[in-house]
A and B are shown apart, each in its own frame.
Chain A
Amino acid sequence: MIFKKFIFPSILIATFIVASTEVRSEDWRYQMRGNLSARLSSYTQEKSRNYAQQTHAQFEHSTEFSPSLVAINQLRWTSNSIASDLSTKSTPAKKDIFDTYLGENYLKYKSDNWVVQLGYQEVVWGEAFGFNYADIINPKDQRETLYSEASEARLPLLLFNGKLFFSSGDLSGSMQLLVSPEPRFSKTLPVEIYAGNLIPQSSLTVIKQKSPAIFKTTEVGGKLAASYGGLDLSLFTYSYLSRDPHYSLQSADLSNITVKEEHQKIQSYGLSLAKTIYDFVFRTDIVQTRDRMINYVAETGELLSLPTTSLNALLSLDTPTYNDYSGVLIFAQSTLGEVRPNSFRSKNEQYVIGKLSKNLGSDKTLELSYTHELEHTGQSVQSILSWPVNSSTDLKIGGELYFGDEQSNLKKLRNVSSIFFSLKNYFQL
């Protein structure tokens, strides 16, 4: 079992070691690079949990055996206190997170008309950014997404990733096949964030479901993409184990409830479009997912789940730059086919997001973002000043505030309302 779990990382690390030592060729090219980041937050909501930390490190070694064959090896480290900061209950898992793990580790072979990558990778579909319903392939560390870029929260997945390119006149595009023999799950926020006040017990125990052993379950999907006449279009599908868990009740008494995480097979179908009109860029992502399980609390008090279909759609508009100002307007809606009373999720979730960015010169930018949740009124305001202090270090200072009705998703995040300061350093050895 242990051997199977580590077989692919072992092969990839062996490739890295071989590439770095024994059979080093004069023609091979090597590069070591990475980044270190640290963020300190001061919460503005609860005095008892006044400060939070978040740190990241990534080391990457790339070996170019030839212009066609490249190996990438990454090692990552992360720590944060977000899970404990958000939790409102006493849980055994309520502690800071310290993780060291392998990041992207793969071999890439590319020819003129096709590319194949084998190993742990991150693959992102869709045309939108900042709010991406089509980013379905990789699991995420959702304990971080409130704070950090999706790129830092994305977790690599073992994949065969093959892409065939085509081009004819003004038409260009690709066909992509993804196969994963080792599904992995997202790392989620405490369950009561989603359950709200539906779980009355004061303490909660969650039994995690381990991801399946390699080759026990296979995920398969593909994407067909084409660009023609100022329009980008892609159609995609992926059959996979749900990245987010639903929960089954194991035991409960007046003070404690024990639930078990479960992940079922689901299938997503999607369409993405992007079109330039004058200097505006329109983007849309539409993703339908079948057999998603949504938890609810039955009239008898039992914790149950219901399979349903979700339809997520996003429309966004990027404005041109005017007097150093640029903006993005996003409308996003997520609808479930069927929900029961006391469900962990509303039937409809709708958000309107406006982002305004001001270029302050010398690559300094000030970003203001406002999110309005429509179904249950909730609001979020974020501001970030990004300041590249020198060629290798970025400074960010900002704040974020979540508020609204008790039922709104944004109000559930009120405990992370904070002001923050972060530094990120990039290096190359």
Chain B
Amino acid sequence: MKIAAYLLSTLLILPLNSFAEMSPNDIVKKADLKRGLGNISHSFNVTVSDQDNKKEIYHVAFKDVNHSITEQTEPERARGRKLLMRDYDIWLFTPNIKKALRISLEQKLTGQVSNGDIARTNYAEDYEATLLPTDKTDTSNVYRLDLKAKNNKVTYGKIEYVVSKKDYSPIEATFFALSGKPLKRAKFQDFKPIQGMSRATKMVIQDYLQKDKVSTLVFSEHRPESFSDSLFNKERLEF
């Protein structure tokens, strides 16, 4: 009787999807959760350094996938620079210009980092995924996914995404422009337990052609936090 109860409980706690084939989009959703807290309201810091060890620090207020504010805190020359993301609209406020200006997602924030790399990182929201065919001799334990932009407002036209089969951890991504030109490659590293789940805390972005151009993003201090809707208003950035 005890054995029967044990077997039954084991069956119940096993995730149902371990018996079913995961859809490519579900794989991407699971991988997204390994790169952030998902679509819950929270804040975190991002430290960006380049190949010359120049360092920039940003504080991100993330309400949901469509509402975030990124504020630069270092270096001193750029302190107070803010980036507001609302759906696919993005505005930049700089203290010397004294007003928020509409910009495009694709514009470079710093080094190899585009605005969308920090402000809009849930790939499942913006891209339609398909599994790339793998060679039968391919014994690597990874999913290879082709992510195509759902519309032309997103940061990239296409992403080739490599995700671990074992725990859906993102491993590598190659980003392409809408024209199909490869732009850069990113590696996801330093998985650490954050808010009850192992998540990547480091993203290394390398220019696709000029391999010596590298930007490293380190994510830290994730904490759940609620934000008022009125905070995500272009007209409020100057305050």
Does chain B have a CB within 8 A of A122? yes
With a cutoff of 8 Å between Cβ atoms, the chain B residues found around residue A163 in the complex are: 235-236, 239
Nearest residue (CB) in B for A326 is B107
With a cutoff of 8 Å between Cβ atoms, the chain B residues found around residue A388 in the complex are: 54, 77
Does chain A have a CB within 8 A of B101? yes
Does chain A have a CB within 8 A of B187? no
Q: How far is the CB of B176 from chain A (nearest CB, A)?
A: 14
Q: Using A151-B98, A278-B152, A281-B102 as known contacts, say yes or no to A392 and B230 having CB atoms under 8 A apart.
A: no
* Contact in complex: A281, B235 (CB < 8 Å): no
Does chain B have a CB within 8 A of A359? yes
Nearest residue (CB) in A for B78 is A426
Does chain A have a CB within 8 A of B197? no
Does chain B have a CB within 8 A of A92? no
Contact with A along B76-101 (1 / 0, CB 8 A): 11010000001111000001111101
Instruction: Provide 7 A-B residue pairs closer than 8 Å at the C-beta atoms, listed in order of the A residue.
Output: A115-B239, A172-B86, A173-B233, A230-B88, A320-B107, A326-B107, A426-B75
**Interface of chain B residues 44 through 79 with chain A (CB within 8 A):** 50-52, 54-55, 74-77, 79
* Contact in complex: B97, A174 (CB < 8 Å): no
With a cutoff of 8 Å between Cβ atoms, the chain A residues found around residue B74 in the complex are: 391
Q: Using A110-B239, A388-B77 as known contacts, say yes or no to A172 and B102 having CB atoms under 8 A apart.
A: no
* Contact in complex: B76, A427 (CB < 8 Å): yes
How many A-B residue pairs have C-beta atoms within 8 angstroms? Tell me: 117
Q: How far is the CB of A281 from chain B (nearest CB, A)?
A: 6
- The contact of A281 among B77, B103, B233, by CB within 8 Å, is B103
Contact with B along A112-153 (1 / 0, CB 8 A): 110101000011111101000000000000000000010100
Does chain A have a CB within 8 A of B165? no
Does chain B have a CB within 8 A of A100? no
- The contact of A115 among B86, B96, B236, by CB within 8 Å, is B236
* Contact in complex: A392, B234 (CB < 8 Å): no
Does chain A have a CB within 8 A of B23? no
Contact with A along B97-113 (1 / 0, CB 8 A): 11101111111101100
Does chain A have a CB within 8 A of B30? no
* Contact in complex: B77, A392 (CB < 8 Å): yes
Interface size class of B (residues with CB under 8 A): 35 or more
* Contact in complex: B76, A320 (CB < 8 Å): no
How long is the Cα–Cα vector from A363 to B79 in the complex, in angstroms? 15
Does chain B have a CB within 8 A of A165? yes
**Interface of chain A residues 145 through 181 with chain B (CB within 8 A):** 149, 151, 154, 163, 165, 167, 170, 172-174, 176
Q: How far is the CB of B227 from chain A (nearest CB, A)?
A: 10
* Contact in complex: B234, A172 (CB < 8 Å): yes
How long is the Cα–Cα vector from A276 to B88 in the complex, in angstroms? 10
* Contact in complex: B98, A165 (CB < 8 Å): no
* Contact in complex: A174, B235 (CB < 8 Å): yes
How long is the Cα–Cα vector from A176 to B239 in the complex, in angstroms? 13
- The contact of A125 among B95, B99, B230, B233, by CB within 8 Å, is B99
With a cutoff of 8 Å between Cβ atoms, the chain B residues found around residue A244 in the complex are: none
Q: Most chain-A CB neighbours within 10 Å: which of B95, B98, B102, B235? A: B235
**Interface of chain B residues 218 through 233 with chain A (CB within 8 A):** 228-233
* Contact in complex: B106, A173 (CB < 8 Å): no
Interface size class of A (residues with CB under 8 A): 35 or more
* Contact in complex: B54, A363 (CB < 8 Å): yes
Contact with B along A98-117 (1 / 0, CB 8 A): 00000000001010110101
How long is the Cα–Cα vector from A163 to B98 in the complex, in angstroms? 15
Q: Most chain-B CB neighbours within 10 Å: which of A126, A129, A227, A362? A: A227
Does chain B have a CB within 8 A of A353? no
Q: How far is the CB of B56 from chain A (nearest CB, A)?
A: 9
Interface residues of B (CB under 8 A from A): 50-52, 54-55, 74-77, 79, 86-89, 95-99, 101-108, 110-111, 152-153, 213, 228-236, 239
* Contact in complex: A127, B101 (CB < 8 Å): yes
With a cutoff of 8 Å between Cβ atoms, the chain B residues found around residue A394 in the complex are: 77
List 7 extra interface pairs beyond A124-B98, A230-B88, A279-B105, CB under 8 A.
A129-B101, A151-B96, A167-B233, A172-B234, A276-B104, A362-B51, A426-B75
Q: Lowest 5 CB-CB distances: which A-B pairs, in order?
A: A174-B235, A151-B96, A426-B76, A391-B75, A124-B98
* Contact in complex: B101, A165 (CB < 8 Å): no
* Contact in complex: B55, A33 (CB < 8 Å): no
* Contact in complex: A170, B87 (CB < 8 Å): yes
How long is the Cα–Cα vector from A371 to B153 in the complex, in angstroms? 32
How long is the Cα–Cα vector from A362 to B77 in the complex, in angstroms? 15
* Contact in complex: A113, B230 (CB < 8 Å): yes
Q: Most chain-A CB neighbours within 10 Å: which of B55, B77, B213? A: B77
Nearest residue (CB) in B for A175 is B235
* Contact in complex: B102, A274 (CB < 8 Å): yes
Nearest residue (CB) in B for A33 is B76
Q: How far is the CB of B228 from chain A (nearest CB, A)?
A: 5
Q: How far is the CB of B237 from chain A (nearest CB, A)?
A: 11
Q: Using A278-B152, A362-B50, A391-B55 as known contacts, say yes or no to A122 and B98 having CB atoms under 8 A apart.
A: yes
With a cutoff of 8 Å between Cβ atoms, the chain A residues found around residue B95 in the complex are: 151
How long is the Cα–Cα vector from A114 to B213 in the complex, in angstroms? 44
Does chain B have a CB within 8 A of A218? no
With a cutoff of 8 Å between Cβ atoms, the chain B residues found around residue A154 in the complex are: 98
* Contact in complex: A167, B235 (CB < 8 Å): no
Q: Most chain-A CB neighbours within 10 Å: which of B74, B102, B106? A: B102
With a cutoff of 8 Å between Cβ atoms, the chain B residues found around residue A392 in the complex are: 75-77
Q: How far is the CB of B211 from chain A (nearest CB, A)?
A: 13
- The contact of A124 among B55, B97, B231, B236, by CB within 8 Å, is B97
With a cutoff of 8 Å between Cβ atoms, the chain A residues found around residue B79 in the complex are: 33, 428
